[in-house]
């Protein structure tokens, strides 16, 4: 046999090995899809037993480390499954998962980020549809019909204020009030909260809303901070007396520790769900599904104790009677980019 014959023969062998691996992966993926879609009373116990044998799962999340630690401890105590966490911002997680897919890497079992980015992952065919009776316990408006992900907690943009710097009776009663000169130099926003801005503009009407926020920024200015934790800390210190795009749970947590902060809600209150999704091809399929069901059920009371807003109907908060208007997670990428550009341009007016 000459070298050419040898290489051709080796190529056939290698091709057969690769083909076999691809077919095996396809069979495993189909089996997992069947498991995820087949909701049955006995599934949970079977998942718990199989997940304990798998021993671990890999979870990508934007949930703060200190809060995730409580959920990790509880889940591991219940099921004996270790959680390996890769924590980053929502945008970085989205970028990493898309890059991993292009490299045909499936390192993650589950992911928990904001709903628009989860929807992007679903459209990229990275997430597995799941049927579970537990989904019926969640707020209908927050649950996507395709079941490619589920709401895990709600994020509502509220207005935070430093109680030493601003008296409660002097707080604005509407967004129109923010254009008043008495709020000059008091306001701050988070740099990436385009969802909040575009939600307000839609609620007020495109022309009216755009003009109002332009007037607020050009007349009174607002400081722009990168990161909601930073914005909350700036309100706590008094450097930003009124934070217009604060997360309610962060302010509640700071207040519980004795910080001079509180929040109020100007209507409309824009909200967005952070959700949990399961990989379409998870390394630990049973642990992935078990963790998904845990996060939308047993984890919910723990989240509420940490001042998160729950999507569970029996635990849902009314935010002092305010009606939540949810960000549309099905918005097109073009619409999201247009919204981001409009908010960035507004912030540059400072």
What pLDDT score does 28 carry? 60
Q: How far is CA 56 from the centre of its chain?
A: 22
Residues of the chain with pLDDT under 50: 1-9, 13-25, 27
How far, in Å, CA of 189 to CA of 95, rounded? 25
- Cross-strand pairs, 243: 160, 188
What pLDDT score does 328 carry? 83
Is the Cβ–Cβ distance between 211 and 176 less than 8 Å?
A: no
What pLDDT score does 41 carry? 86
pTM of this structure: 0.78
DSSP letter string, 149-213: SEEEEEEEEEEEEETTTS-GGGS-SSTGGGGSGGGTTTEEEETT-HHHHHHHHHHH-HHHHHHHH
259-312 pLDDT, tens digit each: 999 999 998 899 888 999 999 999 999 999 999 999 999 999 999 999 898 999
List the one residue out of 119, 105, 79 whose CA is nearest residue 295: 79
What pLDDT score does 321 carry? 67
- Cross-strand pairs, 279: 127
Mean pLDDT rounded to a whole number for the chain: 89
What pLDDT score does 21 carry? 40
DSSP state of 322: P
What pLDDT score does 272 carry? 87
CA–CA distances in Å: residue 50 to residues 75, 103, 285:
15, 29, 9
List the one residue out of 233, 256, 234, 237 whose CA is nearest residue 305: 256
How far, in Å, CA of 147 to CA of 82, rounded? 26
What pLDDT score does 330 carry? 80
- Orientation of helix 333-347 relative to helix 206-220, angle to 10°: 30
Q: Which helix (H) or strand (E) holds 61?
A: strand 56-61
CA–CA distances in Å: residue 328 to residues 209, 270, 312:
18, 11, 19
What pLDDT score does 332 carry? 81
How far, in Å, CA of 68 to CA of 197, rounded? 28
178-206 pLDDT, tens digit each: 999 999 999 999 999 999 999 999 989 99
């Amino acid at each position: 046999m000459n070298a050419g014959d040898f290489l051709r023969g080796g190529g056939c062998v290698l091709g057969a090995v690769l083909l076999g691996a691809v077919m095996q992966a396809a069979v495993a993926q189909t089996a997992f899809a069947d498991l995820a879609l087949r909701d049955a009373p006995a599934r949970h116990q079977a998942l718990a037993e199989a997940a304990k044998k798998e021993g671990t799962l890999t979870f990508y999340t934007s949930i703060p480390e200190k809060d995730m630690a409580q959920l990790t401890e509880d889940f591991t105590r219940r099921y004996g499954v270790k959680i390996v966490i890769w924590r980053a911002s929502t945008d970085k997680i989205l970028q990493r998962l898309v890059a991993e897919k292009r490299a045909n890497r499936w390192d993650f079992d589950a992911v928990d980020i904001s709903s628009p980015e989860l929807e992007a992952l679903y459209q990229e065919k990275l997430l597995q549809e799941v049927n579970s009776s537990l989904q019926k316990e969640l707020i209908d408006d927050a649950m996507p019909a395709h079941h490619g992900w589920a709401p895990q907690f709600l994020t509502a943009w509220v207005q935070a204020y430093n109680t030493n710097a601003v008296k409660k009776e002097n707080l604005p009663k509407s967004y129109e009030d923010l254009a008043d000169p008495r709020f000059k130099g008091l306001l701050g926003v988070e740099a990436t909260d385009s969802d909040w801005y575009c939600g307000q503009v839609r609620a007020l009407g495109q022309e009216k809303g755009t003009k109002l926020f332009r007037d607020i920024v050009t007349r009174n200015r607002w400081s722009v901070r990168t990161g909601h934790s930073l914005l909350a800390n700036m309100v706590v210190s008094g450097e930003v007396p009124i934070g217009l795009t604060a997360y309610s749970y962060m302010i509640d947590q700071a207040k519980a520790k004795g910080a001079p902060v509180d929040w109020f809600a100007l209507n409309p209150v824009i909200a967005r769900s952070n959700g949990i999704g399961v990989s379409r091809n998870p390394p630990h399929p049973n642990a992935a599904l078990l963790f998904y069901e845990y996060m939308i059920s047993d984890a919910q009371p723990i989240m509420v104790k940490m001042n998160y807003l729950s999507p569970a109907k029996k635990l849902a908060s009314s935010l002092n009677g305010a009606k939540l208007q949810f960000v549309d997670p099905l918005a097109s990428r073009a619409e999201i980019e247009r919204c981001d550009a409009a908010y960035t341009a507004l912030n540059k007016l400072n």
